């Protein structure tokens, strides 16, 4: 009887230990739903460059990620309020720098460019050149301090980058801003090559997972991610992810062009 009680006590202790937060081997992170190829919703789950980086970084620390795929604005509000641990892809701009916790190194940089209809006669060499113009932006996205703090740009917001392109083509906007790999994916997909053209750069921004200051596990999983991310940077896996996605996007672009011919 005494032996049985000891065994039972050990089993209870093991169960309690395994259920404790420190033993948790999974973490739930919010992934934005519509910014391919960085991150987007698919039937089988989220896909994108950031998805692979986040998953692999946590895996390096022995932790699996459950992705909660949501609208970016909603995800960031949940993290801000402490209802979620983290959300990506978040630009570390002055506006939100002190609102969230940030990991040590950026996930990756993205470069924004102004786009116009192919017959546009003006020059956009800097953000200042866009002042007084109707510039299309996607609601909730970060475009860097240069764009966001310029009050002379007439900013008009839409729900998705694809909508911006259609508004530009219908002359409802003078300019739009697209980020590099997003444009590389969308322009052939929407078959608008030759109908819009890239002008000058808008800004380069660094993207992160924004971790919650209010969630009790925000700092913990920020630190775990930083550690795992450092590992995959050092062992070459991070660069392999980027190289694999570059190759994949080239194949997708070639395929779209072939289909449209």
Please check whether residues 213 and 192 belong to one and the same domain. Answer: no
Structural domain contains residue 47: yes
pLDDT band at 24 (very low <50, low <70, confident <90, very high): low
pLDDT, mean of residues 241-251: 92
For a pLDDT cut of 90, what percent of the chain falls above it?
78
Domain count, the chain: 2
Please check whether residues 104 and 131 belong to one and the same domain. Answer: no
pLDDT band at 250 (very low <50, low <70, confident <90, very high): confident
Are 32 and 139 in contact by the 8 Å Cβ rule? The answer is no
Per-residue pLDDT, 225: 98
In the chain, % helix, strand, coil (3-state, to 5) comes to: 40, 25, 30
Q: What is the CATH number of the domain that holds 170?
A: 3.40.190.10
Structural domain contains residue 15: no
Please check whether residues 117 and 194 belong to one and the same domain. Answer: yes
Task: State pLDDT tens for residues 165-185.
Answer: 999 999 999 999 999 999 999
pTM check: above 0.75:
yes
pLDDT band at 15 (very low <50, low <70, confident <90, very high): very low
How many Cβ atoms from other residues are within 10 Å of residue 198's Cβ? 14
Q: Can you give the residue range of the structural domain that contains 256? A: 24-108+206-260
Per-residue pLDDT, 8: 52
Are 55 and 65 in contact by the 8 Å Cβ rule? The answer is yes
Phi, psi at residue 223, to the nearest 5°? Answer: -70, -40
Please check whether residues 146 and 94 belong to one and the same domain. Answer: no
**Residue 211, phi-psi category: left (phi > 0), alpha (psi -120 to 50), beta (remainder):** beta
Structural domain contains residue 76: yes
pLDDT surpasses 60 at 41: yes
Please check whether residues 85 and 37 belong to one and the same domain. Answer: yes
């Amino acid at each position: 009887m005494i032996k049985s009680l000891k065994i039972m006590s050990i089993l209870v202790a093991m169960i309690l230990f395994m259920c404790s937060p420190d033993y948790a081997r999974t973490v739930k992170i919010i992934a934005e739903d519509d910014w391919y190829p960085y991150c987007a919703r698919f039937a089988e789950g989220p896909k994108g460059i950031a998805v692979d980086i986040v998953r692999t970084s946590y895996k390096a620390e022995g932790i699996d990620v459950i992705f909660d795929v949501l609208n970016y604005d909603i995800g960031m509000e949940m993290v801000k309020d402490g209802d979620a641990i983290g959300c990506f892809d978040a630009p570390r701009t002055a506006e939100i720098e002190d609102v969230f916790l940030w990991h040590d190194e950026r996930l990756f940089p993205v470069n924004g460019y102004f786009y116009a209809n192919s017959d546009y006669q003006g020059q956009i060499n800097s953000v200042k050149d866009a002042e007084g113009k109707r510039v299309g932006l996607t609601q909730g996205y970060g475009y860097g301090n240069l764009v966001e703090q310029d009050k002379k740009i007439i900013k008009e917001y839409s729900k998705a980058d694809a909508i911006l392109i259609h508004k530009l083509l219908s002359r409802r906007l003078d300019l739009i801003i697209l980020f590099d790999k997003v444009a590389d994916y969308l322009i052939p997909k929407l078959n608008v090559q030759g109908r819009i053209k890239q002008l000058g750069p808008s800004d380069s921004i660094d993207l992160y997972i924004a971790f919650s200051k209010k969630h009790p596990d925000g700092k913990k999983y920020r630190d775990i991610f930083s550690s795992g991310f450092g590992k995959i940077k050092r062992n070459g896996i991070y660069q392999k992810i980027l190289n694999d996605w570059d190759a994949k996007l080239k194949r997708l672009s070639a395929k779209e062009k072939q289909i449209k011919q």
